[in-house]
Amino acid sequence: MSAKGDAGSVLILGATSGIGKAVARRWAMDKADLILAARDTAEAERTAADLRVRYGAKARVVEFDALKFKSFEQFANGYFTDGCQLAGVVLCYGFMADQIEAQKNPEAARKTIDTNFTSPMLLMEQFAAQFEKIRSGFICAVSSVAGDRGRQSNYIYGSSKAALDTYLEGLRVRLFKSDVHVVTVKPGFVDTAMTWGLPGLFLVAKPEKVADDMWKAVRHRRNKIYTPWFWRYIMLIIRSIPQVIFKRMKL
Ligand SMILES: NC(=O)c1ccc[n+]([C@@H]2O[C@H](COP(=O)([O-])OP(=O)(O)OC[C@H]3O[C@@H](n4cnc5c(N)ncnc54)[C@H](OP(=O)(O)O)[C@@H]3O)[C@@H](O)[C@H]2O)c1
């Protein structure tokens, strides 16, 4: 299987994100037909035009709001009508409220959980049912290393990603027998709008590196990747710190 899937288009959800734009470029280099889904369609159109000129890619834009849950059934089913086949979905949207703001403001906390977990879960259920029927397809979703441990500086965002990880793992097991593959992507810090100006960042990766790792993970049917690779070992160490020490740390 190529990283496009067996046939059909690749749908990028959250195509205006820093990682989403790099993903679109990486899949365009592989000559995939792309559907760029975003709420800022003007920005997505600029990316699509660039992909057409730079790579000769087929790229079109669709409007998508990740918090309009009631639209999901119709949105997903539209890609499985006659004459339309989807090879796979790459989920790149997300939201990170400032931790202190999320502690004080339940709406900010809820937006974090809804954007990073409720929305992907409800939407991927729709795509999963369709991929299951055609017995092909892939789902590649961006989670985060933040889901590996509850840190006081970021635990509301982190818990939304931990829930996403567990959901994707269960989905992977369910879809395995239908030959539909699910990839969980766990980046460390990435140089995008989400992290601009944040203090204490280290080993910050380029979105292009993350996108290339994601493309390879789909191609090689990997289950879960850390990107760049060294985050697997950093998080192994962080996960192994006992609670008695962890709760005294300023992480
Ligand atoms: N940057 C990092 O260090 C890092 C590390 C680990 C994981 N991640 C994850 O990587 C993914 C991509 O983030 P990024 O770093 O590329 O940040 P980003 O550039 O800030 O992208 C966030 C994207 O999410 C979209 N979005 C948010 N709410 C939405 C909604 N209701 N409907 C549709 N789109 C919505 C935004 O759309 P608009 O353009 O319309 O605002 C934007 O395209 C996220 O899941 C993030 O949690 C990032």
154 and 99 in contact (C-beta within 8 Å)?
yes
- Cβ of 226 closer than 6 Å to ligand 1, yes or no, is no
- Which residues lie closer than 8 Å to 4 by C-beta, 6 or more apart? 10, 27, 30, 31, 32, 33, 87, 88
Expressed in angstroms and rounded, the spacing between residue 92 Cα and the centre of ligand 1 is 6
The pLDDT of residue 7: 60
State the CB neighbour count (10 A cutoff) for residue 195: 13
Tokens of 174: 């369910």
State the CB neighbour count (10 A cutoff) for residue 184: 25
Q: Which of 25, 190, 232 to mutate to test the pocket of ligand 1 (most atoms within 8 A of CB)?
A: 190
119 CA: nearest ligand 1 atom:
31
Residue type, 170: G
Residue nearest to ligand 1 atom 8, measured at CA: 144
pTM (global) more than 0.85? yes
Instruction: Give the three-class secondary structure for 14.
Output: coil
Q: Which is it for the CA torsion 68, 116, 173, 215, positive or negative?
A: positive
Residue type, 69: F
Rounded alpha-carbon distances, angstroms, from residue 76 to 37, 79, 84, 180: 12, 6, 12, 16
Tokens of 157: 């965002």
State how far the Cα of 166 lies from the Cα of 25, in Å rounded to an integer.
29
Expressed in angstroms and rounded, the spacing between residue 94 Cα and the centre of ligand 1 is 4
The pLDDT of residue 6: 45
Tokens of 203: 């080993």
- Which residues lie closer than 8 Å to 120 by C-beta, 6 or more apart? 91, 141, 164, 167
Expressed in angstroms and rounded, the spacing between residue 243 Cα and the centre of ligand 1 is 31
- Cβ of 40 closer than 6 Å to ligand 1, yes or no, is yes
Expressed in angstroms and rounded, the spacing between residue 9 Cα and the centre of ligand 1 is 22
Ranges of residues in the chain whose predicted pLDDT is under 70: 1-7, 82-84
The pLDDT of residue 197: 87
The pLDDT of residue 63: 97
Beta-strand runs (E) in the chain = 9-13, 33-38, 59-63, 86-91, 138-142, 181-187, 224-227
Q: Which of 17, 123, 235 to mutate to test the pocket of ligand 1 (most atoms within 8 A of CB)?
A: 17
- Report the first-to-last Cα separation within the chain, whole angstroms: 41
DSSP 224: E
Domains of the chain: residue spans and CATH: 9-246 (3.40.50.720)
The pLDDT of residue 1: 44
The pLDDT of residue 8: 83
